[in-house]
Amino acid sequence: MRKIAFLLWIALTITSQAAKPLNLSIFHYNDEHSFNSPQIVKNRATGKIDTVGGSIYLAGQVAKWRSECERSLLLDAGDEFTGGPISAFTQGKSQSDILKVLKPDMMCLGNHEFDYGLSALKAFQFSLDSATTLASANIIQRDNSDPLFTAAKVFDRKGVKIGVLALTTEGLGELVHPSSLKNISVVPVEPIARAFVDSMRKKVDVIACLTHQGVYDDSVLAAHVPGIDVIVGGHSHTYLVNGVKVNSTQIVQAGNYGYYLGRVDLLVDTTTHSVVQSTASTVPLGQSYGSPVDSNMVKVVNEQEALVSKALDKEVGSLTDDFKRMFSGESNVGNWVCETLKRRISCDIGLYNSGGIRVDILAGKVTKRHLWSMEPFGNSTTKVTVTGKDLVKMMEFRSTQLGDFIQTSGLKVQIKNKKVVSLEVNGVAVDPSKKYSIATNSYVVAQWDKYFGFKLDPSVVVDTGMPTRETLITEFEEAKTVTPKLTNWWHVE
């Protein structure tokens, strides 16, 4: 009897130990856009000029957290490319040098990873440290449907198994120049996620999706596909201080440009393969926040700075007030860009996509670096000829669209019930039969149907081959001083 009781006690003890939840921490960041050096910005919290972000603080904070946690995973939700000038200088290679120090366990492909074409992206992939997996489950070859990248991976952290599936925005084709997506297709995310959850639920303890599609689409995914424990997202540059929950799915995103590092702390029951508890948080990064510094990253960033500083730190002029972007409305920097392009190639109208203007610029001294960061894509200035009738159609289509507002110079429009009631070009009422010239960039031309609702005949397009950023730099150098302004050209009832 005593022996039976002893064996029963041992069995109960083992069961009790096995059932004890284990800790797991997932660290995450997104949309770095190659802003590897700290940025001088207006602090969101104080409104004062501050130096924030940067890879040296990002790596320092990751190292600190890793040393404190028994089990951890680092996830990168994409868009390492395009933003800081170093990315354009190196065709993305700069970011593989950054990731070799950070060593994220997985990076999801963002839309900007395709900005330099598939060959540059593959070169980036091959140059990564073996510790990092570049992944996307829904990007395939168009001709044979073969996968182009790893879809998912299972990680084991001291007894906790984590299955991570990578998913890229289904809208990739509308976000990237078509020339960079030849023989590439993007398939829907939900069927893939559902199949992943079904196949992994009894094999792993935590199911995570690493996505680059924006917080709204992450919420839809969580609502439609139950069983995902954590969605680590990017693309919308959303700063979720403590994450959001949709059903039982924890959704997180950590802003952009390396200003923040996110963290999800989980309690995991490995006997039931389930998450018992999840808590999300973020920390701001920078010297003023007391963020730790990674010495290895300091060396990498300094070498990158040496590569670009001589070419880009030359002063080209000054601003009397801040250049401020607006994604869903008119901006003073958008007006200036459009006016510059319009005048430089002698057109009636200037048009530009808000999403093509990437950073604000503070009042004061302006350098080439500022303008490279503002227009990092290398698009060329392009002339398009349309009729007045086309212009009316374009403005009516724009009145039905949300986000990525079209900036302009030369237009004034009034719309009521999605119909143009007044449209002027340089103060003169539009003539439906007259032809009008538009100065814009090559990306807008390639995505004309997305922005204006119809495809262009190639015969009405003239690509000057002149890089837009060089046009803007020349304008600053000649003007010396620029005063931003708004024209209030867009009126909708």
Confidence (pLDDT) at 88: 92
Mean predicted confidence (pLDDT) in 381-397: 97
Torsion of CA 287, 293, 297, 301, to 10 degrees: 20
pLDDT(440) > 70:
yes
Q: Name the least confident of 15-24, 136-145, 271-280.
A: 15-24
Angle CA 302–303–308, to nearest 5: 95
pLDDT band at residue 195, thresholds of 50, 70 and 90?
A: very high
Q: Round the average pLDDT of the chain to a whole number and report it.
A: 94
| Residue 44: predicted pLDDT | 66
44-86 per-position pLDDT tens digit:
667 778 889 999 999 999 999 999 999 999 999 999 999 999 9
For tokens 């010495």, what's the residue? 295
**How far is residue 8's CA from residue 23's CA, in Å, rounded to a whole number?**
28
Q: Which band of pLDDT confidence, cut at 50, 70 and 90, is reported for residue 42?
A: confident
**Beta strands 249-252; 230-232: pairing state:** parallel
pLDDT at residue 7 in the model: 45
Rounded to an integer, the average pLDDT of 212-227 is 98
Rounded CA gap, 232 and 306, in Å? Answer: 34
Query: For 7-16, 91-100, 109-118, 482-491, which range has the lowest pLDDT when averaged over its residues?
Result: 7-16
Q: Which amino acid is at 307?
A: L
pLDDT at 3: 52
Mean local confidence (pLDDT), 423-441: 97
Q: What is the model's pLDDT at position 116?
A: 94
- For 247-292, the pLDDT digits (tens) are 999 999 999 999 999 999 999 999 999 999 999 999 999 988 999 9
- Greater confidence (2 vs 341) lies with 341
Beta strands 230-232 and 206-212: pairing type?
parallel
Mean pLDDT for the stretch of residues 340-356: 97
Q: What is the pLDDT of residue 14?
A: 46
Joined together, the tokens standing for residue 360 give 């604000």
CA distance 482 to 308: 25
